[in-house]
């Protein structure tokens, strides 16, 4: 007989999330991911000066603020047709890179590893669901918690060399960067980076590889659709045509078949979200947000971004696959391995970028943000593809739309009736398609439905960031009390992500 388990809160993620899983004969047969907070950033941005956007959007998320800063200044650069001096481009990359490193280390040791390794026998690590601990209690991964605290902190100290302060850094401005590097800065940055590369190579990567030998079954759990997408990040030249991680997509887990990405094919579906179906399948550049609650079959405030109508997974595994850098598969452990290997590749690249800084050359070019127009900023947060779409008129923001990585990954299902067996395994959009994380959960074996640690392992492999993703609310089982007043009140500004 099927059991329905609600996990609320889902802990060891950024933000507020719950998940409802149906478990039948010790396997997950259905999953609904629900985010439980909404703030309305896009509404807050409307009517403000465009240059406020990089400051405000960094407050969406304290784990990946730098990525929002990068996306926001890129959108304003694109709006205004700015050319960024090489130093400005490199300083942005180095600061964003520092935050990727801190985020990945934070994620593995503090958010994900406790699903596999028993933490210290005290709060906040204990109690925890402990049904399937396979590593010995004195294993070195647990003992690396303390050096990982230092590593994560050092990555932020490295980012602050040019960023000024971490986690939020306001050296990102349209037209370039504010910090003027000195030889002392370079030496500080280089010294932290060397220490970190040593930690990544000799501790982080080996720890994840060790996990693989104890939990090899997780190389075939949490597989999902195999549709992977990357917006690309870390421009290697002024035009951005060369990047450390290229833009592109992979469908159905087919290696070597990386396709190019056409922005006009991104739409957002609302069939199972609490929005008016007349706004279904709009492009983010022309997005409309008309809440409708209650609504039959809807269970989420998250819209469902789709590419060519299909669900796509984003994140380090997607970046590494698209770039041809990862030779493994698609699973819980593959996500962790790709994340670790990406950290190493990035840290090595950053050593080269540091030497490309030209002391004394400009970091910013004096320019004015265009008072009317529109722009797009595409980049990557540590946890996946991030896009900001901005429109201005009369020197003010008139529309600001954000699609975050967790919006892709934790999106609700799309289309069809809410039947038992109509999941679309092929992910081709022809019938009801689950969101990528929901799809990855289906099939997960669960030993004890009262303590479904296996479900957490799948969710954590995506490194969800719910403050970014914003909003889904309680499923139909326990409908949230909303009235028409709320729908009206939020009408202008419920963020789609």
| Interacting positions 35-94 with other proteins (CB under 8 A) | 36-40, 43-44, 48-49, 51-52, 55-56, 59-63, 65, 88
Q: In whole angstroms, how large is the CA radius of gyration of the chain? A: 22
Cβ atoms within 10 Å of 168's Cβ, excluding its own: 18
Work out the angle between the directed axes of helices 86-106 and 65-80 (0-180°, nearest 10): 150
Taking residues 173 to 212 in sequence order and writing x for each that binds other proteins by CB under 8 A, - otherwise, the string is x-xxxxxx-------x------------------------
The number of CA neighbours under 13 Å toward the Cβ of 160 is 10
Which of 97, 119, 284, 291 is close enough to bind other proteins by CB under 8 A?
119
Stretch that binds other proteins, among 250-258, 273-281, 357-365, 381-389 (CB under 8 A): 357-365
Binds other proteins (CB under 8 A): choice among 74, 78, 80, 171:
171
- Name the segment binding other proteins (CB under 8 A); options: 134-142, 154-162, 320-328, 406-414: 154-162
Q: Which of 167, 128, 120 lies closest to 144 in space, CA to CA?
A: 120
Q: How far is the CB of 456 from other proteins (least distance, A)?
A: 6
Shortest reach from residue 430's CB to other proteins, in Å: 34
- With beta carbons less than 8 A apart as the criterion, state whether 371 and 390 touch: no
| 3-class DSSP assignment, residue 83 | coil
Exactly one of 70, 71, 166, 340 binds other proteins (CB under 8 A); that residue is 166
Instruction: State the Cα–Cα distance between residues 341 and 273, nearest whole angstrom.
Output: 36
Q: Where are the alpha helices (DSSP H) in 357-472?
A: 405-409, 436-441, 453-461, 466-469
Q: Which residues pair with 244 in a beta bridge?
A: none
Cβ at position 182, least distance to other proteins in Å: 10
Give the other-Cβ count within 10 Å of 489's Cβ. 13
Nearer to other proteins, 355 or 366 (CB): 366
Binding residue for other proteins, selected from 2, 27, 81, 146, defined by CB under 8 A: 146
- Classified as helix, coil or strand, 493 is coil
Closest separation in Å from C-beta 100 to other proteins: 14
**CA gap 177, 158 in Å, rounded:** 16
Residue 471 has what DSSP assignment? Answer: B
**Closest to other proteins by CB, 5 or 431:** 5
Binders in 433-452 for other proteins, by CB under 8 A: 451
Residue numbers 463-492 binding other proteins by CB under 8 A: 467, 473-474, 478, 480-482, 485-486, 489-490
Query: How far is residue 493 from each of residues 1, 406, 481, measured CA to CA in Å?
Result: 42, 19, 19
Residue with Cβ nearer other proteins (72 or 323): 72
String of contacts with other proteins for each residue 364-383, x by CB under 8 A: x-x-----------------
């Amino acid at each position: 007989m099927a059991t329905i388990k609600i996990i609320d809160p889902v802990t060891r993620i950024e933000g507020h999330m719950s998940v409802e899983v149906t478990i039948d004969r010790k396997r997950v047969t259905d999953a609904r991911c629900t985010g439980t907070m909404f703030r309305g950033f896009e509404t807050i941005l409307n009517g403000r000066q465009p240059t406020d956007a990089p400051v405000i959007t960094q407050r969406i998320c304290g784990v990946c603020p730098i990525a929002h800063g990068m996306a926001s200044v890129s959108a304003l650069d694109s709006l205004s047709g700015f050319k960024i001096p090489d130093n400005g481009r490199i300083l942005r990359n180095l600061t964003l890179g520092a935050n990727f490193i801190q985020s990945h280390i934070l994620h593995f040791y503090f958010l994900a590893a406790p699903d596999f390794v028993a933490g210290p026998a005290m709060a906040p690590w204990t109690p925890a669901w402990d049904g399937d601990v396979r590593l010995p209690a004195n294993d070195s991964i647990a003992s690396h918690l303390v050096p990982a605290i230092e590593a994560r902190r050092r990555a932020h100290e490295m980012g602050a060399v040019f960023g000024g302060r971490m986690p939020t850094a306001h050296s990102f401005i349209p037209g370039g960067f504010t910090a003027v590097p000195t030889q002392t800065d370079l030496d500080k940055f280089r010294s932290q980076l060397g220490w970190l590369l040593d930690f990544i190579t000799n501790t982080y990567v080996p720890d994840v590889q060790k996990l693989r030998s104890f939990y090899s079954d997780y190389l075939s759990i949490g597989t999902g659709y195999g549709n992977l997408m990357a917006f690309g990040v870390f421009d290697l030249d002024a035009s951005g045509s060369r990047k450390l991680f290229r833009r592109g997509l992979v469908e159905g887990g087919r290696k070597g078949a990386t396709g190019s990405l056409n922005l006009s094919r991104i739409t957002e579906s609302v069939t199972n979200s609490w929005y008016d179906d007349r706004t279904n399948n709009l492009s983010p550049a022309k997005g409309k947000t008309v809440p409708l609650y209650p609504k039959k079959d809807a269970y989420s405030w998250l819209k469902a971004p789709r590419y060519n109508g299909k669900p796509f997974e984003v994140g380090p595994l997607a970046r590494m696959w698209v770039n041809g850098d990862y030779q493994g598969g698609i699973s819980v452990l593959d996500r962790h391995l790709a994340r670790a290997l990406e950290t190493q590749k990035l840290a090595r690249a950053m050593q080269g970028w540091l030497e490309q800084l030209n002391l004394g050359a400009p970091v910013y070019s004096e320019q004015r943000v265009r008072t009317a127009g529109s722009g797009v900023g595409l980049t990557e947060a540590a946890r996946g593809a991030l896009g900001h779409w901005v429109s201005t008129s009369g020197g003010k923001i008139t529309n600001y739309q954000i699609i975050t990585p967790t919006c892709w990954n934790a999106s609700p299902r799309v289309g069809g009736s809410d039947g038992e067996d109509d999941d679309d395994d092929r992910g081709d959009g022809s019938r009801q398609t689950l969101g990528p994380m929901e799809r990855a959960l289906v099939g997960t074996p669960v030993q004890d439905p009262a303590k479904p640690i296996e479900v957490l392992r799948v969710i954590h492999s995506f490194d969800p960031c719910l403050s970014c993703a914003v909003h889904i609310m309680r499923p139909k089982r326990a409908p949230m009390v909303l009235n028409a007043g709320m729908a009206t009140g939020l009408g202008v500004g419920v963020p789609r992500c």
